[in-house]
Structure 1
């Protein structure tokens, strides 16, 4: 999927890079921190037969420009809305993984009319909404320190925990290459965003078809978090992917894609 061309547009002073493939209803993919659109290669390749699949590089990630230090979660939300306006996407199936799932929830808070459906994969109701206080505070402190360190140390620390022990070497190598090109500014901002948000008040009001999609061996956001989403969002469906970690879309792409395809076509 290296052949999916990288495009870019200007949105409110930000250069936003993105990849897209296919035609049909829009399926917008929102990556986590330390990731970019390259993490969605299996989805761009295999879901583009029935959907217009769009994967952005959030400001501060991939080939997009770094936003100012004043960028907040709301800034990301409005930038996403402007990005979709610019590329001509009015309504879409919105799929967010990890920090991208936090962004998707806050996007729903302000732009619910733009959703055909919502897929929340291996994410959080914000760290403070899903993790014990001591855990999310320690995680934030660690991330802010790591953002100032060398990429090699970050790769060694972060990559092993997002896959199962059985994940093949080539998958770890591919993700390590992406993490090694992280943007310190973007990593700091997305870490702060993850920690500041608590969407628990929002979940009962989500009124679009919602799929909660989770790896059964997610060590960063455990299944108990998925169960919280399933219980709190009216009519939400819970699908658990066996033998998958936090990046279930990369580790078990066939199963992940199958759930997304079935759900979005029925939504």
Structure 2
């Protein structure tokens, strides 16, 4: 399936999106320090039936350099601007971590543009003090060392991947390392501060969501453990919650076949919404 790269002007700079396939729109936003390639397996699986729009988020991948912090509302507006640019009136919103938070925000603010939401490894809660301190220190060290190079790649790996992937999925480890190392620290730092250090409590906002929502978590996720994902799902009326037992923070990359099956089953249940 051929794909086309497009640059979309947004409130947070020009964002690179990769568009493939045909059918109802499916917009995919990845985690911090990841780019659109997190979704390669989902694009390959769904592009025959959906128009997949995989995003390099602000400051990441081939998108414009990020030089300021942002709000989640601004990120949600970026989703709106992407959908407008590609001519999609409504879309299935798929997000991982940062993408899950923004997907939930978008679903609450722009329900008329949402078919369904599939939110992976997300949270609706503000960051714990320990997490704020750890990520702030990681940014300082990365600036001092000129990037996310060893030994700083180890904290990123343990934040993203659990014991099963670290021990048995070398391709996933390599993909994660390669993508993390490719980041420009100065460009991703405002995103890390916005999404982690200054993350808002979204539970009140998420209670406004009325579109069908699937929340997926990884049992081995150390960044947003199951209890935190469960809390997010409880905040969204009638959300469906599913866990993958042997995956962590990047479930779509770690166990793509099982994630695709969960997505397929959910989308099939809401076929009339398409």
Give the alignment's TM-score, normalised by structure 2. Answer: 0.88
**Hey, what's the Cα distance between the residues in 1 that align with 2:194 and 2:12?**
20
Contact kept in structure 2, 1:36 and 1:56, CA below 8 Å: yes
> Which residue is 2:91 aligned to?
92
Q: How does 1:38-117 map to 2 (within 5 A)?
A: 38-117=37-116
For 1:141, the equivalent position in structure 2 comes to 136
Distance 1:39 1:146, change over 3 A: farther
Q: Aligned pair 1:209/2:212, yes or no?
A: yes
1:181: Cα distance to partner?
0.9
CA distance in structure 1 between the partners assigned to 2:95 and 2:12 by the alignment: 24
Native 8 Å contact 2:69 2:194 kept in 1: no
Contact 2:107-2:211 within 8 A present in 1 as well? no
Which region of structure 1 is more displaced relative to structure 2, 250-259 or 48-57?
48-57
- Mean CA deviation greater in 57-66 or 192-201: 192-201
Q: CA deviation at 1:206?
A: 1.1
Partner in structure 2 of residue 237 of structure 1: 240
Q: Given the superposition, is the C-alpha separation of residues 185 and 82 from structure 1 closer, same or farther in structure 2, using an over 3 Å criterion? A: farther
| Distance apart, 1:264 and its partner CA | 1.8
Per-residue displacement from partner, 1:106-139 (whole Å, max 9, x unpaired)? 223332221111111001114x1xx5x3223323
User: 1:178 Cα deviation (Å)?
Assistant: 0.9
Q: Paired residue for 2:263?
A: 260
| Secondary structure of 2:223's aligned partner | coil
Contact persistence 2:164–2:247 (CA under 8 A): no
Q: Distance in 1 between matches of 2:65 and 2:74?
A: 13
Would the aligned equivalents of 1:72 and 1:189 in 2 still touch at CA under 8 Å? no
Determine the C-alpha separation between the residues in 2 that align with 1:139 and 1:10: 33
* Cα distance in 2, alignment partners of residues 226 and 102 from structure 1: 11
Change (3 A) 1:183 1:110: farther
CA offset digits 1:243-267 (Å, max 9, x no partner): 1111000110000011112212322
The answer to whether the 8 A contact 1:147-1:188 is kept is: no
Q: 1:113 to 1:262 in 2, by over 3 A?
A: same
Provide the residue aligned with 1:155 in structure 2: 153
CA distance in structure 2 between the aligned counterparts of 1:30 and 1:96, rounded to whole angstroms = 5
Q: 1:99: Cα distance to partner?
A: 0.9
Paired residues, what number? 262
The 2-side partners of 1:81 and 1:50 are apart by 22
Taking structure 1 as reference, are residues 41 and 146 closer, same or farther at Cα in structure 2, changes over 3 Å only?
farther
Q: Deviations over 1:64-115 (max 9, x none)?
A: 1013315433332222211211111121111111111111122233322211
Instruction: Write the distance in 1 (CA, Å) between the matches of 2:221 and 2:20.
Output: 28
Distance 2:269 2:192 in 1: 34
